[in-house]
Each structure stands twice: as C-alpha cells, then as structure tokens.
Amino acid sequence: MSAGELACIYSILMLHNDGIAITAEKINTILKVAGVTVESYWPRLFAKLAQNKSTDDLVLNVGAAGGAAVAVSATAAGGAVEAAAPAAEAKKEEAKEESDDDMGFSLFD
C-alpha cells in the first residue's frame, strides 16, 4: 500500500471521527494541510468508497473474514490437528540435538 493510499484512509477516518461528510475536496484539504502529495484520483476513489459503504462497517469488519476461514478449517480437520501436534514436538527435540554445544566448540573459542 502506498503512502498516498494510507494518507487517504487516515483522512477518511479523521473526517468520520469528527462526524463530517466525506468528500474528495475535504480529503484533499486534509492532505494539503498535512503536506502529503497523492495522485489526483485517490481522494475521489476513497470518497466514493466512503459514500457507498458504511465507514463503521469497514472498520469493525476488517479481520472478520480471516477468522472465519481458520475456524472452518480447524473444525474440518478435526483429529488431524491433534495428530499433528506430537509430530511437531518430536521435530523440536531433534533440533535441540543438532546444536553447536554437542560439537565441542563454541563461537568464542
């Protein structure tokens, strides 16, 4: 994500927080005061997004889709997740055996 896109997002959040209607002109004003230069189309695109979608819904549902996919895959896997846990512990033990301490030399010798 570019700095211009982030600046537009922050502008929308500031306007929304203050209860001000979100327009491209107001986004441009905030960007100008902040000294951020962006492509001319970004404020219009973000203003159109803010007018078509509820900003509250966008903010509150940022990570909702990711959590649902994990929950579905975990329940679908069922016992496979439990069976994989002992294998992971065995790999950790093998990694400890291959440390430099067993070779008889260290970094500072």
Burial (CB count within 10 angstroms: exposed 0-12, middle 13-18, buried 19+), residue 8: buried
Count other C-beta atoms under 10 Å from residue 44's C-beta. Answer: 16
Integer Cα distance of 21 and 70 in angstroms:
36
Domain boundaries, the chain: 3-60, 65-96
Express each pLDDT in 74-86 by its tens digit.
444 454 444 445 5
Compute the distance between CA of residue 38 and CA of residue 52 in angstroms, rounded to an integer. 22
CATH class of 3-60: mainly alpha
pTM of structure: 0.53
- pLDDT range class, residue 56, cuts 50, 70, 90: confident
In terms of average pLDDT, the best of 11-20, 61-70, 94-103 is 11-20
